[in-house]
């Protein structure tokens, strides 16, 4: 099936309130353009250099999301144009995003990444660290960021019960922080969870933003 056909069949299954991020990492520009032609406007990338290169060449009405692990020293390259950063997992990174947001005279939307998987390798905050950030007085000074929600990745397993439990854990956390903080830069509305293998389950568990790559574009070729 073509990219356009894949997009159409995925969109049919998505409820109205769920935003689709088309994960285009490692995919060539022609495939992204194909998705763009069929109406997709939100794309997610994992690598800073690749994102910068693509954003320079592809249509300006694309909303670029950064979904990978972001190093503080690279924030400056994407700060002028990125529309949402999904994987924020430290206060240090938040401060750097704020600094670069200020330089570019804009407010950068961020999702805090929570560690829900059992694997050690997945990045993210635990519950205590999440509350430490949200409660910190210093956060109020960061007027060039907006914390718009949470992001998480479930364990890479075939055990649906485990995945469901991890998603539900994140959903509960999401609801417990909603409307709880009256800082003007905390506006918790987005719950980003679910990828090609588990997005229907993620939506069942309350996700309102899914990040789908291979089901749209086919398998990734990392040697490209």
Ligand X SMILES: *Cc1c(COP(=O)(O)O)cnc(C)c1O
46 binds ligand X per the rule CB under 6 A: yes
Tokens of 135: 């409660």
Q: Work out which of 52, 155, 214, 218 binds ligand X, going by CB under 6 A.
A: 214
| HSE, side-chain direction, 13 A CA sphere, residue 218 | 12
65 binds ligand X per the rule CB under 6 A: no
Q: CB-wise, 36 or 86, nearer to ligand X?
A: 86
Q: CB-wise, 84 or 142, nearer to ligand X?
A: 84
Residue 68 backbone zone (phi > 0: left; psi -120 to 50: alpha; other: beta)? beta
Q: Work out which of 67, 82, 114, 186 binds ligand X, going by CB under 6 A.
A: 67
Among the listed ranges 11-19, 118-126, 162-170, 211-219, the one in contact with ligand X (CB under 6 A) is 211-219
212 binds ligand X per the rule CB under 6 A: yes
Q: CB-wise, 101 or 124, nearer to ligand X?
A: 124
213 binds ligand X per the rule CB under 6 A: yes
Q: What minimum distance in Å lies between the beta carbon of 33 and ligand X?
A: 19
**Count of residues engaged in binding ligand X, rule: CB under 6 A:** 14
186-192/42-45 β-pairing: unpaired
101 binds ligand X per the rule CB under 6 A: no
196 binds ligand X per the rule CB under 6 A: yes
**Bridge partners of 210?**
20
Q: Cα–Cα distance between 178 and 185 in angstroms, integer?
A: 13
Backbone angles phi, psi at 125, to 5 degrees: -90, 150
70 binds ligand X per the rule CB under 6 A: no
- Among residues 122, 118, 124, 212, which one has the least CA distance to residue 163? 118
Q: Which residues bind ligand X (CB under 6 A)?
A: 23, 25, 46, 67-68, 153, 195-197, 211-215
């Amino acid at each position: 099936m073509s990219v356009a056909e894949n997009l159409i069949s995925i969109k049919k299954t998505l409820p109205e309130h769920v935003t689709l991020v088309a994960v285009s990492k490692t995919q060539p520009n022609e495939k992204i353009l194909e998705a763009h032609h069929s109406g997709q406007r939100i794309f997610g990338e994992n690598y800073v250099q690749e994102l910068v290169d693509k954003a320079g060449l592809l249509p300006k009405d694309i909303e670029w999301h950064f979904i990978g692990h972001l190093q503080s020293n690279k924030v400056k390259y994407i700060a002028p144009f990125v529309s949402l950063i999904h994987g924020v997992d430290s206060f240090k990174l938040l401060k750097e995003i704020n600094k670069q947001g200020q330089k570019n005279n804009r407010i950068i939307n961020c999702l805090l990444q929570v560690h829900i998987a059992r694997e050690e390798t997945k990045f993210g905050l635990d519950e205590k660290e999440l509350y430490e950030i949200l409660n910190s007085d210093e956060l109020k000074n960061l007027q060039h960021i907006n914390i718009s929600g949470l992001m998480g990745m479930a364990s890479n397993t075939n055990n649906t019960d485990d995945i469901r439990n991890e998603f539900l854990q994140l959903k509960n956390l999401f609801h417990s922080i909603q409307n709880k903080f009256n800082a003007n830069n905390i506006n918790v509305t987005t719950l980003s969870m679910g990828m090609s293998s588990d997005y229907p389950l993620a939506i069942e568990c309350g996700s309102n933003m899914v990040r789908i790559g291979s089901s749209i574009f086919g398998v990734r070729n990392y040697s490209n």
